[in-house]
Amino acid sequence: MHMIRAAVAGASGYAGGELLRLLLAHPDVEIGTVSAGGNAGTRLGELQPHLLPLADRVLAETTVENLAGHDVVFLALPHGHSAEIAAQLGEDVLVVDCGADHRLADADDWEKWYGGPHSPNWPYGLPELPGGRDALRGTRRVAVPGCYPTVSSLALAPALVAGLVEREVVITAVSGTSGAGKSPKPHLLGSEVMGSLSVYGVGGAHRHTPEIAQNLSHATGGPVAVSFTPVLAPLPRGILASCSAALAADVDPAGAADAARAVYEKAYADEPFVHLLPVGQWPTTGAVLGSNAVTLQVAVDVAARRLVVAAVVDNLAKGTAGAAVQCMNIALGLPETAGLPLTGVAP
């Protein structure tokens, strides 16, 4: 098979840099154009010094002309900037959008949460959800999920699909600062975040809420209500999501823990990147740092009649760039795990 030539737009940002890190290790990919907006004309090594093999590359402008002629184009651009470029790339090109432009099926949801005209939704890049892989095979357009929806959906979908819990879920997810992007923001200064936790997007105000609800509702064939609270933590990358839902009325709390474990073991037994931990071991963000893995654990609060699922993900790897590479592999018929590490970086 010939080497796949890939372009990365938005290469100066966190997601773009992580894409390049993973693509450098991919056995079937050669990296073509790397582009940026305001950083065009700058050496990549000045902005992504960890990418030594690409340090002398000069960032091109993000234009259709510079991105054309590749087998795959990854768009790691701010929300609202991908659709116009993608519409001008040929249907023979695999376009993988790491932004939100093509994630939401409902136009009203898009206008409410993001604003501007709604773009058609594309095959959704979370293959571990029911029917996910089938939608990605052979496609030439992929919408990469948001990081919070990735970990939350994988944490809750098996229990909802099995009818183990009611269709109202509560999610509290703690995330590192890289999820907000690389642009300077006063509230993300080191002196603001070090030694402090803060909530944001409270009361159903975070943009990922409708995406989580869309995923869980699609997986289960009916509406799922989502209460989502994100928490900013003083770490660069990683998400820990604590997800819970009331046990279904016909589920005996005394046997629910064993039932839940059986459900999750079956759901993820053959998944290369989603791992249910042994009983008594709880997930940590440090264990998945730099990897494409999601680890999770389930428990039942018998007194409260609630299932609790804790799950972790590296928001820049499986939460964004790793998912993009995984979807490329599926769409092009490559081994799904190609170029994607299962091992984290520790300590």
- Give the start-to-end residue ranges of the domains of the chain: 4-144+320-332, 148-313
Model confidence band, residue 47 (pLDDT cutoffs 50, 70, 90): very high
Interatomic CA distance for residues 347 and 345, integer angstroms: 6
Collapse the DSSP code of 327 into the 3-class scheme (helix H, G, I; strand E, B; otherwise coil) and give the result: helix
Q: Same CATH topology for 4-144+320-332 and 148-313?
A: no
Determine the Cα–Cα distance for residues 247 and 165; give it in Å rounded to an integer: 4
Question: Does the pLDDT of residue 190 top 90, yes or no?
Answer: no
Domain 4-144+320-332 class, CATH top level: alpha beta
> In which band, very low, low, confident or very high, does the pLDDT at 333 lie, cut at 50, 70 and 90?
very high
- pLDDT bin (cut points 50, 70, 90) of residue 1 is low
How far is residue 334 from each of residues 21, 32, 184, measured CA to CA in Å? 19, 19, 38
Q: Give mean pLDDT, residues 226-246.
A: 97
Give per-residue pLDDT as tens, 196-231. 999 999 999 999 999 999 999 999 999 999 999 999
CA distance 156 to 306: 12
Annotated catalytic residue within 98, 147, 243, 327? 147
* Residue 279 DSSP class: T
The CATH number assigned to the domain with range 148-313 reads 3.30.360.10
CA 346 to chain CA mean position, Å = 22
Q: Per residue in 166-200, is it b (16+ CB within 10 Å) or e — as a string?
A: bbebbbbbbbbbbbeebeeeeebeeeebeeeeeee
How far is Cα 90 from Cα 271, in angstroms, rounded to an integer?
32
Question: For residue 99, is pLDDT > 80?
Answer: yes
Question: Model-level pTM?
Answer: 0.96
Q: What average pLDDT does range 241-266 have in this prediction?
A: 97
- pLDDT, the chain, mean: 96
- Side chain identity at 33, as an amino acid letter? T
**Helices 253-268 and 147-161, packing angle to 10 deg:** 120
- Burial status of residue 98 (CB atoms within 10 A of its CB: 0-12, 13-18, 19 or more): buried
- Give, as one character, the DSSP assignment of residue 248: P
pLDDT at position 274: 98
Q: Tell me, what's the pLDDT at 189? A: 82
Whether 147 is catalytic: yes
Q: What is the pLDDT of residues 145-178, one digit of tens each?
A: 999 999 999 999 999 999 999 999 999 999 999 8
